[in-house]
Every structure is written in structure tokens, then in C-alpha cells.
């Protein structure tokens, strides 16, 4: 999805009305129709696929909840703020709906604010005090919602979820109306660069659902994120009338319970039981998330907690004493030395109240190297020795690190050996300056190219086999040819070599290999010349003589003896 | 016979000089990425046991914040210790000794991107590219430890460090790089900054900003009127918050919106228009509380050039021989 705008600057936040998914959760049908025209006719190809878009409906994973306010199980002066739940999934409140529009559709009355667009969201946050609610865990959906709502939900079967049970008059008093449902949910986009929780929600988008009730001071409160999907039986179109200056609620017993108690005591006095005839109407709602907190008279908010902090530099000690410490931040600790004796030593962590200069004596190779004695006290300062050991133990606990460390060292030794080799090569091998520059990068290539250049440059002795030179050279050293082929004299060799003048140099660029045929011809010619000039050696050491070769073969056939 | 289109020697030369083959590969002795990343994390005390940071719990009481400078010698020793793993002989020692200056310079750069790595915002190679341009040696690193129930309740609080620039009327506040911001325990937050801040702010997380109202009487509440950017409109009378009947403290949200709309009608230029849930949220949200820490006092900083305090041998040296020896050394 393309980002329409960059994230807000650090310290800023953007607020949006609502955020809708292009494709809502539920079962969808995809129909495709392609009209094909071809020579002599037309045809229509049709296809149909069904697919389901899934989303949280009757349960919500705790991972989806980014934050709850007031804090879970918190205790503080929360009676001047409205509880809220922050969701990672920014579209969640609008993925399903109440089943009714947020505004009635009629033109707003004069003086009334503009009407709200879209359906009312399906999530709302109820704040209830102890005594007003009962949490029912893992009960079938059929026991939570009435039959007509279940039908409108699509008759989901086998759903088990949590529910909250509230008496009908309490619920009517706290449940937002349609318009209020919409007003109590919005989307925020914040900048996440300044936060500690790394990687939990890198995009900074959140959906927020607020409650409409101030937690009464001195009460144990509970917040329920409930689903009102299709609950038009409970959510009123218009809110009850407002009044001025009503005191925020105190922990009160629900009216029906009080009434029931009174009725029961009256009825018991007259000898009959009315509890069966006076059932308080209870309503149930699907619960997606819930938490509790204590609202107390004062303290406990972010502002109060931060302002009450004891501010100081590290090493400041509490007024009522503290560890034995010096003004430099060193703390006296007991240490068992190598002999097992207890020794009092100084230690200071990496955090200190003054800026310190960096030790330039490093690196240290053992912890003992970093031990110091404080001249003022005569006691040992084990700070840096402890740091060394801490680093060593942390690193030793990491298997991959040990491997990398070994690889790093081995690589460095290899590099070093290679450097030495290169220096030796450079000293021994006269390379052109251009090639010498590339030597460290590509040793094999450079040496090969250098050799090739030398080979091309002249010397026939660079051709180990001699074949190429023999074939291509206009002239060779007849002595060498005579020695190689056991010719009788250099003159014979000269004759075989077609009388070319010995020692004629190769042209510098002529490195073209000879055609194979000419080499064979030369060999055959040399063999023939040798056969003509020198008598064959008695042993079978002259493989190139055809006659010997054939006689040898004859002699090699074993003769079979008769017995 | 047709001449060959390429001679064997030319082909060999071509092959041996092909860029793929002749390209200089990384030297085998370069710092492996995992090792570099590990040591950079160690430089920022990641993974160092809490007891090493705070040797006595009384140094960090409950509900306190303690500012500090990071002792670079300590972090250098941590790295030395880590490199001592598998150091069995003089060959490894010589290797460490030779590599130390370049290793220190590399880690001075890499430690600036540890936060990017911790956030998972970029892979190591990419993050390291960012650090490569900034070759300056490490500055003074400072930070704070915050131990408070606020850390547990507001784990996503936003922390910023600022340095003052200029003086008199032309003061500007420059943000410092946050090197590390992490919860060490449920209620302990550590922050490290690159440089010495003049002001540190801890702000309520923005996604957790709540609806907030002021108590104007025992049973009455009111709400300040806000502009389109969320700032309070000066001079506008606050709006009385209506409640539903029944005494449960349920705010009449729709009626409140109607009243806020009336404010907008009266002063459309300054007061936010009630266009929808977003506008409603802006007008009822409490601005996040931003706690500033500035000029905390504390210990006087030693003048540059070191302390000039004369050394004296304390009577606490228990062993007379040690004491005599130290006295002799110190003179």
C-alpha cells in the first residue's frame, strides 16, 4: 500500500476519523466473465471462486492490543481520564459493524454538528465497577446473543468465547448510542523513533477505542472491550438525556440488586420467595479483551509518577545511608581472592558521575593486567578486571561468536602469509609495473599473464614440450634437436629442419599455435630420419620404429605347448 | 582451412583477466559482521548483567532517575575480554595488538547504529553503510537509568535528549542521537545518548494519550477548548462536560460534541471544527505530559586536565607492609 503521507515528526501525532478495509471480513464470491470473439463465433467463459477474508470476531489475540490505559492492575488517580484500549490493527473497529449507520440520516438540526459518515463500529469499551459485571469464560455463543442476533451474524456454529453479563439498566446507562460508538473510536499515527519497545509496531499506526465513563474514585474498575456487532437490540439510536454537573459515579450497588434484596427481605418476612418471580434482566456481550485497575484519590498518573522521581547523578546515595562508597563512585565489595581469603576491594560500574578519560594503555590480554591498587586506600580496584571478565564470559557463552573469532584470526594469519608470499613473488619475478600493481588482488592471474607475456616475448625454452617451437620456428638449435632425437650429428638435424638458419628469433607477437597436422608430419619426418640414420637399439626402447614395433608384437604372442 | 577466430593464447588471457575472476575479493582477515555487531552491542553494555551496572541496589532506589557518563575504559575492557576467548598464545595476542587501533575506530562507528539493529529497522550491512560515513571517534556517551512504576505502566514512553546551542535569546535545542533505549527489567529503563545533553524529556506515549478533563468543582468537570492543531485556545471559556443521568459518571458524548460544535460556530477561525471522530478526539485529548530533566545539579565536574587533589595514603590500608610500600611509592 502506498503511503500517502510521511510519518509525523518526532513528538507529533496525527488523528484520523476511521480507516476501512477495502475488503471486509466474511465470505466472498469472485465471478469472472470473459467474452471471446473468434472467427466464426463468440463464446463466454465464466468462472466462480469463493474465498473468505478472516479477521478477529469473537476472540482477540492479546498481541493485537498495543496498550491499555489506565495500566493493567494499575493503581492511581484515574478518575479524570477515560479508559482506552489501543489496537495494533488500525482497521479493526471498522471491519465489522453494528448493523446500523452512525447517524440517523436525517439532516442535522440547526446548531447540531455535522452527521457522521458510515456504519457505527462494532467495538466499544465498557467501564464497569465491581458488582456491576460478571465475566463468563468460554461459553457457547448461543448462550450470549439472542436468536435473532445470531441469525444476523450468520449462524456461526461451535463458537465458544468469553462474555460479560451486566444487568439491563446498568448497560443502558453506560452503553454508547450509535453516534457515540462512532465518536469513541479513531485512528492515530505516531512517530515511533523515540520509544524503547523496538520492533513491536514499526509503522506507528494504531486504532484507539475509548470508553465514555470516568472511573469512580475509590473503586475497583474493570474495562471490557466488547463486540456490539449486530447488537441493535442493545445499542440505542439516541443517547439518554444529558444533565449538568452530575457527580461521577461512586461504587454503588446495582439498583436491581438493591431492589431485589429489599423485595426478598420483605417477601421472606411474609413467607414467600420472590427471587424466581423477579429475575433481574441480564444482558450478555461478547468480550474480546478485558483488564482491571484501581482508581484511587491521587497519584499514579504518568505526570505524578514522573514528578515524584528522585533525580540525581549515578552514585548519589539515599539520605538514610547506603553502601560504603567513595565520591568517585567506587563501592566497597567483598571479594574471595585466589587463596580463598575474603578481601575488601573497590568496584565501580561503567556508569559514573564524572566524565572520564579513556584508558590508552590497551589492549589488555588478561584480567590481571587490568587490576589496580588504589594508592589512597591500599585496596585493590577490580573495576576493569571485572569488566574484562564480564566481556569474556558474555562472549564465551555465544557459540557463533567463538566461531567468528576463530575465523577472523585464521583469516588474518592467512592474509599475513599471503602478504609474505606476494613480497617474495614480486622480488623474484620481474613483472611490468602495470602487472605488479594487480598482484595483491589476483596472484594466479597476474603470474599467469606475466608468464604468457614472457612466453610470447621470445624464449623457446619456455615451451616445455618443444613441439610448438619445433613446428612453428623457422629455425632451431640443431644441437638440441640432435640431442632430443638421438640424431647422429647436428648436420643431420639441420638437414631435417629444411636448412633453415639456426637461431632465427621468433617474432614477438607470433604465439599462434601450429595446426596439429604439421606437428604430426614433423614427428613422422623425424622418426623416418632417425630410422634411416641410426641402427635400431637392441632392446625395445625405441617405440617409434614401425618394424621393431611389429616384430615385438609377433614375439609377444605366447606359444601354447601341448602336454 | 579457415583461420581460427580466436587463438588459444588470446582466449586464455581473456579468461584469466575476466572481471569476475580478477575482482579483488574481501580480505580474509576482515572483521566478520556478526563479530562486529556483537562487539558494538557490547560497547553499549547490551547483555552486561545488571549487577555489573548497578553493584548495589541502593545506588538506584525505587522511583528514581540517575544520570551518568559511560566509562569508556570499562567498555573497552569488555571488548578486550570478549576477544580473549580462545586467546591461547602469543600469536593471538599479537593479532589483537595489531588489530586494536582499527578495531576501536570501527566499533566507534558501528556502535552508532546499534539502535537501528535493535529495532530491526535495517539489516547489518545496510546499517553499517550509514555508520561508515561518520568517521569521527566516539564522543562522550551519557545516559540515565530510570527505575519507576511509570516504566512498567507506560513502557513506550518517548525519550529525547537535547543539547543547547547558542546563548541568550538565540538558544536552539539540537536533538542528540539516542544510542540505546531499552527496558532492562519491567520497571527499569536505560537510555544512552551520543553526547552530553542539556535537557532530557520523557513523554507519555502518544498512542496512549487519553481523554482528559479538569475538575472544576466537586461534581463538575470542564474541558479546555482546542484549536485544529490540538493547542488550547487562549481566552475561550472552557466547556462544561455533560453527563448522563444515573450518577455513574458516564459522559454524554453526543451532547459534549454538540457543545464543542457550538464553540466552533462561535469562533470558527480558532476552534477545531467537529467534522468527525478524529476532530472529536483532538478536542478532548489531554496533551501528553512531557517531563523535562534539566540542570540536575549533582556533583561538580572535575576540571579538564584531571584532578589536582593531592594523594594521601589513608589509614585504612590494613596491612602495615602494604601501607609502608604505598607510602614509599607515593612519597
User: C-alpha grid cell for residue B296?
Assistant: 540536575
Rank A453-462, A481-490, A512-521, B125-134 by mean pLDDT and report only the highest.
B125-134
CB contact under 8 A, A412 and B206: no
CB contact under 8 A, B146 and A309: yes
Q: Nearest-CA distance from B143 to chain A in Å?
A: 9
Residue bearing cell 634411416 = A532
Q: Does A212 touch chain B (CB under 8 A)?
A: yes
Lowest mean pLDDT across A128-142, A216-230, A366-380, A426-440: A426-440
CB contact under 8 A, A311 and B64: yes
pLDDT value for A541: 40
Please give the residue of chain A at the shortest CA–CA distance from B14.
Answer: A449
pLDDT over 60 (residue A276)? no
Q: Nearest-CA distance from B114 to chain A in Å?
A: 12
Lowest mean pLDDT across A31-35, A478-482, A559-563: A559-563
Q: Is B39 left (phi over 0), alpha (psi -120 to 50) or beta?
A: alpha
Q: Does A437 touch chain B (CB under 8 A)?
A: no
Q: Which of A284, A57, A85 has its CA nearest to residue A168?
A: A284
Please give the residue of chain B at the shortest CA–CA distance from A248.
Answer: B249
For the segment A394-439, what is each residue's pLDDT rounded down to a tens digit? 999 988 898 889 989 988 888 888 877 877 877 776 677 777 777 7
pLDDT over 50 (residue B329)? yes
Query: Span B132-152, mean pLDDT?
Result: 84
CB contact under 8 A, A353 and B218: no
Q: Which of A430, A435, A452 has its CA nearest to residue A508?
A: A452
Mapped onto helix, strand or coil, the DSSP state of residue A94 is helix
Q: Does A158 touch chain B (CB under 8 A)?
A: no
Please give the residue of chain B at the shortest CA–CA distance from A312.
Answer: B66
Mapped onto helix, strand or coil, the DSSP state of residue B184 is strand
Res. B287 pLDDT band, cuts 50 70 90: confident
Query: Span B224-252, mean pLDDT?
Result: 82
- Out of B35, B115, B311, name the one closest to residue A376 (CB): B311
- Residue A261: CA count within 13 A, CB half-sphere: 5
For the segment B87-97, what is each residue's pLDDT rounded down to a tens digit? 888 888 888 88
pLDDT value for B75: 93
Res. B77 pLDDT band, cuts 50 70 90: very high
Q: Which of A91, A241, A95 has its CA nearest to residue A177?
A: A241
Q: Does B84 fall in a domain?
A: no
User: C-alpha grid cell for residue A466?
Assistant: 618443444
Q: Residues with Cβ < 8 Å from A225, sequence gap 6 or more?
A: A60, A85, A123, A124, A125, A209, A287, A288, A289, A290
pLDDT value for A506: 36
Query: Span A75-82, mean pLDDT?
Result: 81
Nearest-Å Rg of the Cα atoms of chain B is 31
Mapped onto helix, strand or coil, the DSSP state of residue B202 is strand
CB contact under 8 A, A113 and B54: no
- Residue B154: CA count within 13 A, CB half-sphere: 28
CB contact under 8 A, A214 and B66: no
φ and ψ at residue A514, rounded to 5 degrees: -75, 155
- Better-predicted residue by pLDDT, B2 or A126: A126
Q: Does B267 fall in a domain?
A: yes
Q: Nearest-CA distance from A86 to chain B in Å?
A: 7
Q: Does B136 touch chain A (CB under 8 A)?
A: no
- Better-predicted residue by pLDDT, B289 or A404: A404
Residues of B in contact with A408 (CB under 8 A): 29-32, 35
- Better-predicted residue by pLDDT, A27 or A531: A27
Range of the domain at B267: 214-283
Please give the residue of chain B at the shortest CA–CA distance from A303.
Answer: B289
- Better-predicted residue by pLDDT, A388 or B273: A388
Lowest mean pLDDT across A212-216, A361-365, B146-150, B288-292: B288-292
pLDDT value for B216: 67
For the segment B192-204, what is each residue's pLDDT rounded down to a tens digit? 998 888 888 888 8
Q: Does A330 touch chain B (CB under 8 A)?
A: no
Q: Does B66 fall in a domain?
A: no
Q: What is the full DSSP assignment across A217-276? A: TTEEEEEEEEE-TT-TTTS-SSPPPEESSPPPP-----HHHHHHHHHHHHHHHTT---TT
Interface subset of B 213-272, CB within 8 angstroms of A: 213-215, 217-221, 240, 242-255, 257-258, 260-262, 265
pLDDT value for A267: 64
Residues of B in contact with A398 (CB under 8 A): 38
Q: Is the pTM of this model over 0.90?
A: no
For the segment A198-215, what is each residue's pLDDT rounded down to a tens digit? 445 567 888 999 998 888
Mapped onto helix, strand or coil, the DSSP state of residue B129 is helix
pLDDT value for B195: 87
Q: Does B258 fall in a domain?
A: yes
Q: Which of B129, B126, B130, B120 has its CA nearest to residue B177?
A: B130
Q: What is the full DSSP assignment across A174-220? A: HS--HHHHHHTEEEEEE--TT-SSTTS-TT-EEEEEEBSBPPPTTEE
* Residue A255 CA: distances (Å) to CA of A175, A252, A258, B248: 17, 8, 5, 12
Q: Which of A142, A147, A182, A183 has its CA nearest to residue A160?
A: A142
In the DSSP assignment, the letter for residue A53 is E
Please give the residue of chain B at the shortest CA–CA distance from A127.
Answer: B250
pLDDT over 70 (residue A291)? yes
Q: Does A326 touch chain B (CB under 8 A)?
A: no
Interface subset of A 108-127, CB within 8 angstroms of B: 111-114, 116-117
pLDDT over 50 (residue B130)? yes
Please give the residue of chain B at the shortest CA–CA distance from A380.
Answer: B317
Query: Span B304-322, mean pLDDT?
Result: 45
- Better-predicted residue by pLDDT, A94 or A449: A94
Q: Nearest-CA distance from A144 to chain B in Å?
A: 25
Please give the residue of chain A at the shortest CA–CA distance from B282.
Answer: A15
Per the structure, the count of domains in chain B is 1
Q: Does B112 fall in a domain?
A: no
pLDDT over 90 (residue B74)? yes
Best residue in B6, B64, B80 to probe A by mutation, most A CBs within 10 Å?
B80
pLDDT value for B323: 65
Please give the residue of chain B at the shortest CA–CA distance from A406.
Answer: B86
Separation CA B92–CA B83 (nearest Å): 9
Residues of A in contact with B249 (CB under 8 A): 213-216, 246-249
A331: part of which helix (H) or strand (E)? Answer: strand A331-336
For the segment A129-154, what is each residue's pLDDT rounded down to a tens digit? 988 889 999 999 988 998 899 998 88
pLDDT over 70 (residue B232)? yes
CB contact under 8 A, B250 and A179: no
- Out of A314, A391, A511, name the one closest to residue B42 (CB): A391
Query: Span A62-67, mean pLDDT?
Result: 87
Separation CA A390–CA B78 (nearest Å): 6
CB contact under 8 A, A199 and B7: no
Q: Does B222 fall in a domain?
A: yes
pLDDT value for A292: 92
Residues of A in contact with B139 (CB under 8 A): none
Q: Nearest-CA distance from B108 to chain A in Å?
A: 13
Counted across chains A and B, CB pairs separated by less than 8 A come out at 520
For the segment A91-117, what is each residue's pLDDT rounded down to a tens digit? 999 998 888 888 877 777 777 888 888
CB contact under 8 A, B96 and A375: no
Q: Does B270 fall in a domain?
A: yes
pLDDT over 80 (residue B13)? no
- Out of B32, B78, B281, name the one closest to residue A404 (CB): B32
- Better-predicted residue by pLDDT, B243 or B288: B243
B40: part of which helix (H) or strand (E)? Answer: helix B33-43
Q: Residues with Cβ < 8 Å from A65, sequence gap 6 or more?
A: A85, A86, A87, A88, A289
Q: Which of A102, A104, A285 has its CA nearest to residue A185?
A: A102
- Out of B16, B160, B205, name the one closest to residue A448 (CB): B16
Q: Does B11 fall in a domain?
A: no
Nearest-Å Rg of the Cα atoms of chain A is 48
Interface subset of A 488-527, CB within 8 angstroms of B: 511-513, 515
Q: What percent of chain B has pLDDT over 90?
A: 14
CB contact under 8 A, B250 and A249: yes
Interface subset of B 281-300, CB within 8 angstroms of A: 281-282, 286, 289, 291, 293, 296, 298-299
pLDDT over 90 (residue A483)? no
Interface subset of B 30-59, CB within 8 angstroms of A: 30-32, 34-35, 38, 42, 45, 47-49, 52-56, 58-59
Separation CA A389–CA A396 (nearest Å): 10
For the segment A170-198, what is each residue's pLDDT rounded down to a tens digit? 888 899 998 899 999 999 888 877 776 54
Amino acid at each position: 500500500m502506498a503511503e500517502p503521507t510521511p510519518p509525523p515528526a518526532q513528538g507529533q501525532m496525527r488523528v484520523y476519523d476511521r480507516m476501512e478495509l477495502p475488503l471486509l471480513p466474511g465470505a466472498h464470491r469472485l465471478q469472472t466473465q470473459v467474452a471471446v470473439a473468434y472467427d466464426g463465433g463468440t463464446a463466454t467463459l465464466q468462472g466462480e471462486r469463493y474465498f473468505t477474508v478472516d479477521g478477529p470476531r469473537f476472540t482477540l489475540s492479546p498481541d493485537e492490543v498495543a496498550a491499555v490505559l489506565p495500566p493493567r492492575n494499575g493503581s492511581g488517580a484515574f478518575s479524570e481520564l477515560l479508559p482506552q484500549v489501543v489496537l495494533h490493527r488500525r482497521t479493526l473497529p471498522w471491519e465489522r459493524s453494528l448493523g446500523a449507520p452512525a447517524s440517523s440520516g436525517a439532516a442535522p438540526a440547526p446548531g447540531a454538528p455535522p452527521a457522521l459518515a458510515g456504519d457505527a463500529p462494532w467495538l466499544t469499551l465498557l467501564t464497569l465497577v465491581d458488582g456491576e459485571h460478571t465475566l463468563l469464560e468460554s461459553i457457547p455463543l448461543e448462550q450470549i446473543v439472542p436468536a435473532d442476533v445470531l441469525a444476523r451474524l450468520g449462524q456461526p456454529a461451535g463458537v465458544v468465547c468469553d462474555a460479560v453479563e451486566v444487568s439491563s439498566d446498568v448497560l443502558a446507562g453506560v452503553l454508547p448510542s450509535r453516534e457515540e460508538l462512532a465518536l469513541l473510536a479513531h485512528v492515530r499515527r505516531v512517530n515511533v523513533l523515540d520509544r524503547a519497545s523496538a520492533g513491536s509496531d514499526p509503522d506507528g499506526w494504531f486504532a484507539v477505542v475509548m470508553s465514555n465513563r470516568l472511573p469512580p474514585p475509590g473503586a475497583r474498575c474493570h474495562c471490557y472491550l466488547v463486540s456490539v456487532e449486530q447488537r441493535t437490540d442493545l445499542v440505542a439510536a439516541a443517547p439518554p438525556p444529558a444533565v449538568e454537573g452530575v457527580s461521577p459515579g461512586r461504587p454503588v450497588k446495582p439498583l436491581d440488586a438493591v431492589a431485589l434484596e429489599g423485595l426478598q427481605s420483605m417477601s421472606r418476612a411474609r413467607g414467600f420467595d420472590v427471587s424466581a418471580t423477579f429475575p433481574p434482566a441480564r444482558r450478555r456481550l461478547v468480550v474480546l479483551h478485558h483488564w482491571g485497575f484501581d482508581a484511587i484519590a491521587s497519584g499514579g498518573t504518568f505526570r505524578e509518577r514522573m514528578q515524584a522521581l528522585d533525580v540525581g547523578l549515578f552514585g548519589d546515595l539515599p539520605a538514610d545511608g547506603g553502601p560504603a562508597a567513595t565520591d568517585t563512585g567506587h563501592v566497597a565489595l567483598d571479594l574471595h581472592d585466589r587463596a580463598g581469603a575474603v578481601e575488601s576491594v573497590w568496584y565501580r560500574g561503567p556508569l559514573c558521575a564524572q566524565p572520564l578519560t579513556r584508558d590508552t594503555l590497551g589492549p589488555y590480554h588478561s584480567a590481571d593486567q587490568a587490576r589496580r591498587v588504589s594508592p589512597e586506600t591500599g585496596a585493590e580496584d577490580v573495576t576493569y578486571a571485572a569488566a574484562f571478565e564480564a566481556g569474556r564470559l558474555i562472549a564465551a557463552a555465544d557459540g557463533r561468536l567463538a566461531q567468528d573469532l576463530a575465523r577472523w584470526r585464521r583469516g588474518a594469519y592467512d592474509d599475513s602469509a599471503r602478504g609474505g608470499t606476494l613480497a617474495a613473488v614480486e622480488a623474484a619475478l620481474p613483472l611490468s609495473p602495470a602487472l605488479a600493481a594487480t598482484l595483491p588482488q589476483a596472484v594466479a592471474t597476474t603470474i599467469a599473464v606475466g608468464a604468457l607475456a614472457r612466453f610470447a616475448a621470445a624464449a623457446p625454452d619456455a615451451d616445455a614440450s618443444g613441439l610448438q617451437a619445433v613446428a612453428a620456428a623457422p629455425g632451431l638449435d640443431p644441437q638440441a634437436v640432435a640431442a632430443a632425437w638421438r640424431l647422429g650429428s647436428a648436420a643431420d638435424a639441420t638437414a631435417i629442419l629444411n636448412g633453415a638458419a639456426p637461431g632465427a628469433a621468433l617474432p614477438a607477437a607470433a604465439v599462434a599455435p601450429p595446426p596439429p597436422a604439421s606437428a604430426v608430419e614433423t614427428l613422422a619426418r623425424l622418426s623416418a630420419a632417425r630410422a634411416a640414420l641410426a641402427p635400431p637399439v637392441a632392446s625395445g626402447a625405441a617405440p617409434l620404429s614401425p618394424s621393431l614395433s611389429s616384430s615385438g608384437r609377433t614375439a609377444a604372442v605366447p606359444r601354447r605347448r601341448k602336454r | 582451412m579457415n583461420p581460427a577466430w580466436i587463438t588459444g593464447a588470446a582466449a586464455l588471457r581473456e579468461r584469466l583477466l575476466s572481471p569476475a575472476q580478477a575482482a579483488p575479493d574481501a580480505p580474509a582477515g576482515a572483521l566478520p559482521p556478526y563479530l562486529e555487531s556483537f562487539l558494538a552491542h557490547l560497547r553499549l553494555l547490551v547483555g552486561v548483567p545488571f549487577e555489573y551496572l548497578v553493584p548495589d541496589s541502593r545506588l538506584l532506589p525505587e522511583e528514581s532517575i540517575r544520570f551518568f557518563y559511560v566509562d569508556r575504559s570499562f567498555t573497552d575492557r569488555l571488548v578486550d575480554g570478549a576477544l580473549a576467548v580462545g586467546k591461547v598464545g602469543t600469536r593471538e595476542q599479537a593479532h589483537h595488538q595489531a588489530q586494536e587501533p582499527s578495531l576501536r575506530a570501527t566499533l566507534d562507528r558501528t556502535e552508532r547504529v546499534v539502535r537501528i539493529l535493535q529495532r530491526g529497522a535495517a539489516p547489518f550491512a545496510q546499517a553499517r553503510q550509514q555508520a561508515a560515513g561518520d568517521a569521527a571517534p566516539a564522543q562522550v556517551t551519557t545516559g540515565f537509568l530510570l527505575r519507576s512504576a511509570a516504566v512498567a505502566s507506560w513502557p513506550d514512553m518517548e525519550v529525547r535528549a537535547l543539547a543547547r546551542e547558542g546563548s541568550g535569546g538565540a538558544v536552539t535545542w539540537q536533538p542528540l542521537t539516542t544510542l540505546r533505549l531499552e527496558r532492562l527489567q519491567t520497571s527499569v529503563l536505560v537510555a544512552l545518548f551520543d553526547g552530553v545533553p542539556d535537557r532530557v524529556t520523557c513523554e507519555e506515549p502518544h498512542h496512549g494519550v487519553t481523554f482528559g478533563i479538569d475538575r472544576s468543582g466537586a461534581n463538575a468537570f470542564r474541558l479546555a477548548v482546542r484549536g485544529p492543531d490540538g493547542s488550547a485556545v487562549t481566552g475561550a471559556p472552557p466547556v462544561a462536560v455533560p453527563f448522563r443521568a444515573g450518577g455513574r459518571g458516564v459522559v454524554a458524548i453526543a451532547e459534549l460534541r454538540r457543545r464543542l460544535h457550538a464553540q466552533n460556530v462561535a469562533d470558527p477561525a480558532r476552534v477545531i471544527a467537529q467534522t468527525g471522530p478524529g476532530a472529536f478526539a483532538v478536542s478532548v485529548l489531554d496533551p501528553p505530559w512531557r517531563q523535562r530533566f534539566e540542570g540536575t545539579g549533582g556533583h561538580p565536574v572535575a576540571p579538564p586536565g584531571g584532578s589536582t587533589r593531592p594523594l594521601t595514603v589513608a589509614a585504612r590500608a590494613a596491612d602495615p607492609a602494604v601501607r609502608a610500600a604505598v607510602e614509599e611509592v607515593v612519597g
